[in-house]
Amino acid sequence: MDIVYVSYNSEKWIKKCFESLLDSEYDLSKVSVYVVDNGSTDGTVRELENVREKCLPIIKDFEIIESKKNLGFGGGNNLGARQGTDEILCFFNIDTELYPDTLSQLEKEIQRSDEQSALWELRQFPYEHPKMYDPLTHEISWSSGAAFAVRRSIFEMVKGFDDAIFMYAEDVDLSWRIRSFGYKLRYTPKATIKHYSYQEAGEIKPNQYINSVINNLLLRYRFGGIHEVLAGHCLFWKCMMGPAAFPNSKKLLLGKYIKHFGKILYFMRRGCCGSEKHKVAKFIGYDYEAIRDGAFYVNEFSEKKPLVSIIVRTCGRPQVLRETLISLRHQTYPNMEIVVVEDGQECAGTMIQEEFADMNILYFATGDKVGRSNAGNRAMEIAHGQYLNFLDDDDLFYADHVEVLVKTLEQSNNKAAYAFAFETPIEVQSKDPYIYKVYDYLGIHKTRFEKIELCYHNYIPIQCIMFEKSLFEEHGGFDESLDSLEDWDLWVRYSLYTDFDCIEKTTSIYRVPHVRLINEKRQKELDDALVVVREKHKSYMQHISVYDVAMMYQNQIR
């Protein structure tokens, strides 16, 4: 494994960066390090020479390549890449630190990947990059350049980074060129790296802002059509006509814009792209992929790692259940049991035993049909976890869902917590094999906790919430007379005894039918259940503070 770093006046990052490498559990005799210094004027090179002495007895090789001029991010990484020979080539920013298992987890992901997988992006702490990824395959549309591994043969085939793109978007361009040849990029949530990308949440970096705007336009010439290019110019002038991002930003932006005209022909003609180059790009404003909420959520690992029981209710559709269990296999949290309860005769047992023997799964079928609420109560009774979380058999977790909620509850005085979710309309085209079309990812389930609002309607999908099992033990489970809105009734009842923490990060997918007739039938069932639940709620006495009443009034008059 070859690791390339690029430094520029990076003296303060050097020591911790390479101390973390030396603390790795990975066999460092297989690692070669190549650091390209882009003409630093501080003590960077001196610090690199010091750490080189410490590293060389342990790692395979450590070379410092001094450039007399600043080659930029792409140019520096290209120079470093040319020094090594290993098939797996890693690019890490100099302001990153490895966790002890980072490289071993990365190697596991690479080894289990197929030949069409060309690049693997590491997860970043404390701020995870918020772009979308497939929670089942972990496929991504582009990779952050801060921390990724790539097959050297493919990196060389596409001629590496394009050093004509100076500061920001070099990684998007490289990702799209690789994908244009039919290769896939993967996200590796279990391989995590610490990256000091921002000093504070929401920080605006002047160079990043200016270059991101212009480089977005340059990528449109290479990968887009006339409509994308015109949209890019419209976005630029919108920036110029709007409020300044920071003092003097418009002057700097206009200067870069004028200079970019000299690069247009280069980006239209050259790119080392495959035949799919116009199919790989997404231009969503200045983003290159849909964004999940939580860009500045501070991610942390749990230290105590209490047992969490994930309860999956299913009913005669193992093909659907399979995807849900795959999303649970991918969880970054290490201490889970999965309680699968099948309402009716056993259908999923063989599939679970054959395909998911590596997971801690408790499976049972009720035999007779008992309904969703009874099945859920039975599962909660036998669950061993300190925390419980439902995940119905057609919904999915992103890889960090359990990790995020456990850490929140560990730090909270409340007994329940929830995160945001996408609502995803799908149309099922085949039940066996399970094939469906996804129509959208709607960010509509992101309401902050309000007791009054929760009493009015159910704004939290069932899989979003994790709660202490003590709530079930002390206050009961689902009302078994309900087969719809049973989860809402449960949340309202639990809210009589605890507040809920709200994590403003998207960590799950809530699937709903796209077909109108199915939705109409589903809505009729919910409307009928609402009448029953409203009558039940007449007996619930919610205790709220004067502050809560004031906030409710304030929200109404806004």
Query: Over 406-433, what HEC string results?
Result: HHHHHCCCCCEEEEEEEEEEEEEEECCC
How sure is the predictor about 521, in pLDDT bands with cuts at 50, 70 and 90?
Answer: confident
> 């129509």: which residue's tokens?
439
* pLDDT tens digits along 425-446: 999 999 889 999 999 999 989 9
How sure is the predictor about 333, in pLDDT bands with cuts at 50, 70 and 90?
Answer: very high
Distance in angstroms (rounded) separating the CA atoms of residues 4 and 78: 9
Distance in angstroms (rounded) separating the CA atoms of residues 392 and 368: 19
β-bridge pairing 416-430 and 442-445: antiparallel
Q: Is 500 helix (H, G, I), strand (E, B) or coil?
A: strand
Same fold yes or no, 2-195 and 308-557: yes
CA 171 to chain centre: 18
* pLDDT tens digits along 525-545: 787 788 888 888 888 888 877
* pLDDT tens digits along 287-330: 999 999 999 999 999 999 999 999 999 999 999 999 999 999 99
How sure is the predictor about 548, in pLDDT bands with cuts at 50, 70 and 90?
Answer: confident
Q: What is the mean pLDDT of residues 511-515?
A: 88
Question: Residue 479 pLDDT > 90, yes or no?
Answer: yes
What is the predicted pLDDT for the residue at 306? 98
Domain borders along the chain are 2-195, 308-557
- What is the third-level CATH fold of 308-557? Spore Coat Polysaccharide Biosynthesis Protein SpsA; Chain A (3.90.550)
CA 333 to chain centre: 14
Pick the CATH number of 2-195 from 3.90.550.10, 3.20.20.140, 3.40.50.720, 3.30.70.260: 3.90.550.10
What is the predicted pLDDT for the residue at 335? 97
Give the torsion sign (CA, 392, 394, 395, 396).
Answer: positive
Q: What is the mean pLDDT of residues 232-246?
A: 94
Per residue in 32-55, is it b (16+ CB within 10 Å) or e — as a string? bbbbbbbbbeeebbebbeebbeeb
CA–CA distances in Å: residue 418 to residues 72, 307, 461: 42, 18, 9
Give the global pTM.
0.92
- Please indicate whether residue 484 or residue 554 has the higher confidence score (pLDDT): 484
Q: What is the mean pLDDT of residues 413-426?
A: 96
- What is the average pLDDT value for the chain, to the nearest integer? 93
What is the predicted pLDDT for the residue at 547? 80
User: How many other C-beta atoms can be found within 10 angstroms of the C-beta atom of residue 440?
Assistant: 12
Question: Residue 65 pLDDT > 80, yes or no?
Answer: yes
Question: Residue 202 pLDDT > 80, yes or no?
Answer: no
Q: What is the mean pLDDT of residues 173-179?
A: 97
Q: What is the mean pLDDT of residues 356-381?
A: 96
How sure is the predictor about 199, in pLDDT bands with cuts at 50, 70 and 90?
Answer: low
What is the predicted pLDDT for the residue at 167? 79
How sure is the predictor about 558, in pLDDT bands with cuts at 50, 70 and 90?
Answer: low
Question: Residue 207 pLDDT > 90, yes or no?
Answer: no
Question: Residue 465 pLDDT > 90, yes or no?
Answer: yes
Q: Is 360 helix (H, G, I), strand (E, B) or coil?
A: coil
Q: Where are the alpha helices (DSSP H) in 390-539?
A: 401-410, 451-456, 469-475, 486-494, 516-537
